[in-house]
Amino acid sequence: MEIKMSEQQKERNEQIMERHSLAVDRLRSLVTEETVPEWYRAYFQDTGIFLLELENVSRKLQEGIWESISLEEMESLNEILYSDILGENYKTSFANPAYASEVFGEQMGRLLSCLYAEMRSGIPYAFEGKMDYLTILFELFIEVYNCFEGDEEPEVKEIRDIIYWYASDYCDVFLADRVMEQIDPRCSFAADIIENADLSNDRYLYRFGEYISENELGTARFLRELPEETIRKMADVYTEGYRIGFINTGKDLSKKSTVNIRYTLGFERVVRIAIDNFCKMGLEPVIYRAAPGVITKREHHKIGYHGAVANWQYEYDHRQDQALFMDKRYIERKLEVMRNVYEKNRELAAGFAGPAVMETFGEKPFSPEAKKAAPSYTEEQRELALLYDSRSGQMTNEYIKGDERSFTIIAWPVPEIGEKYADIFEDVIRINTLDAKLYSQVQQTMIDALDQGEYVHILGKGENQTDIRVRLCDLKDPEKETKFENCVADVNIPVGEVFTSPVLEGTSGVLHVSRVFLEGLEYRNLRLRFEDGKVTEYSCSNFDSEEEGRKYIYDNVLKNHETLPLGEFAIGTNTTAYVTAKKYGIEDKMPILIAEKTGPHFAVGDTCYSWSEDIRVYNPNGKEIVAKDNSVSIRRKEDVSKAYLNCHTDITIPYEELEEISVVTKEGKDIILIKNGRFVLPGTEVLNEPLKEVTICQK
**What percent of the chain shows pLDDT beyond 90?**
86
Q: Distance between CA atoms of 531 and 551, rounded to whole angstroms?
A: 20
At 471 the three-state DSSP class reads: strand
What confidence score (pLDDT) does residue 8 get? 72
What DSSP letter does each residue of 556-595 carry, written as one string?
HTSTT-S--BEEEEEEE--HHHHHHHHHHT-GGGS-HHHH
pLDDT for res 699: 36
Beta-carbon contacts of residue 342 (< 8 Å; ≥ 6 apart)? 179, 349, 395, 396, 398, 399
Mean pLDDT, residues 614-626 taken together: 92
pLDDT in tens, 305-324: 999 999 999 999 999 999 99
Closest residue by Cα to residue 670 from 526, 440, 469? 469
Condensed to tens digits (0 to 9), the pLDDT of residues 248-298 reads 888 999 999 999 999 999 999 999 999 999 999 999 999 999 999 999 999
DSSP string covering 352-396, please? Answer: EEEEEEEEEE-SPPB-PPP-TTS----HHHHHHHHHHHHHHHHHH
Counting DSSP H helices and E strands in the chain, the numbers are 22, 19
Cβ atoms of residues 375 and 321 within 8 Å? yes
What is 212-251 written as a DSSP string?
--HHHHHHHHHHHHS-HHHHHHHHHHHHHHHHHHHHHTT-
Of 211, 191, 133, give the one whose Cα is nearest residue 166.
133
Query: 3-class SS at 343?
Result: helix
DSSP string of 133-197, one letter each residue: HHHHHHHHHHHHHHHH-SSSPPPHHHHHHHHHHHHHHTHHHHHHHHHHHHH-TT--HHHHHHHHS
Residue pair 205/265 in contact (Cβ under 8 Å)? The answer is: yes
Backbone angles phi, psi at 373, to 5 degrees: -75, -20
C-beta pairs of 608-614 under 8 Å, 24+ apart in sequence: 608/485, 608/499, 608/501, 608/567, 608/568, 608/648, 609/501, 609/633, 610/402, 610/567, 610/644, 610/648, 611/397, 611/401, 611/402, 611/403, 611/644, 612/249, 612/402, 612/403, 614/403
Which residue type is seen at 647?
C
Q: Quote the pTM value.
A: 0.90
From residue 203, how far is each of 127, 193, 211, 220, 359 by CA, in Å? 14, 11, 13, 11, 23
Question: What pLDDT does residue 117 have?
Answer: 98
- Calculate the alpha carbon distances from 379 to 300, 323, 350, 561, 696 in Å: 20, 10, 36, 11, 45
Tens digit of each residue's pLDDT (9 = 90 or more) over 432-481: 998 888 899 999 999 999 999 999 999 999 999 999 999 999 999 999 99
pLDDT at residue 491 greater than cutoff 90: no
At residue 488, the pLDDT reads 79
What is the torsion angle, in degrees rounded to the nearest 10, for the CA atoms of residue 561, residue 566, residue 568 and residue 571?
130
> Using an 8 Å Cβ cutoff, are 392 and 193 in contact?
no
Sign, Cα dihedral of 362, 363, 364, 369:
negative
Mean pLDDT is lowest, of 166-180, 262-276, 396-410, 681-695, for 681-695
Between 171-183 and 328-344, two packed helices, what is the crossing angle to 10 degrees? Answer: 40
What is the H or E stretch that residue 651 is in? Answer: strand 648-652
The residue type at 679: F
Q: How far apart are CA 694 and CA 699, in angstroms?
A: 15
Phi, psi of 117 (to 5 degrees): -60, -35
User: Mean pLDDT, the chain, as a whole number?
Assistant: 94
Single-letter residue type at 99 = Y
CA dihedral 115, 117, 122, 123 (to 10 degrees): 160
Torsion of CA 684, 506, 551, 160, to 10 degrees: 110
Is residue 467 a contact partner of residue 460, using CB atoms and an 8 Å limit?
Answer: yes
Residue-level pLDDT at 194: 98
Q: What is the pLDDT of residue 6?
A: 61
Backbone angles phi, psi at 645, to 5 degrees: -100, -10
pLDDT at 2: 38
* pLDDT at position 19 over 70: yes
Cα separation, 566 vs 530, whole angstroms: 8
C-alpha to C-alpha distance for 57 and 209, rounded to whole angstroms:
10
**561 pLDDT above the threshold of 70:** yes
Q: What is the pLDDT of residue 99?
A: 98
Are 374 and 548 contacting, i.e. CB atoms less than 8 angstroms apart? no
User: In angstroms, rounded to a whole number, what is the distance separating the alpha carbons of residues 414 and 411?
Assistant: 10
Q: Cα separation of 248 and 487, whole Å? A: 10
Identify the three-state secondary structure at position 420. Answer: coil
The per-residue pLDDT for 694 is 63
Is beta strand 453-460 parallel, antiparallel or unpaired with respect to 467-471?
Answer: antiparallel
Residue whose C-alpha is closest to residue 481's, from 522, 452, 445, 454: 452
Given pLDDT bands bounded at 50, 70 and 90, which one contains residue 698?
very low
Distance (Å, rounded) from C-alpha 634 to C-alpha 607? 11
Task: Report whether pLDDT(695) > 80.
Answer: no
Say if CB 636 and CB 646 are below 8 A apart: no
pLDDT digits (tens, 9 = 90+) for 622-669: 999 999 999 999 999 999 989 999 999 999 998 889 999 999 999 999
Reported as a single tens digit per residue, the pLDDT across 44-84 is 999 999 999 999 999 999 999 999 999 999 999 999 999 99
Higher pLDDT, 11 or 553: 553
Q: Indicate whether 41 pLDDT > 50.
A: yes
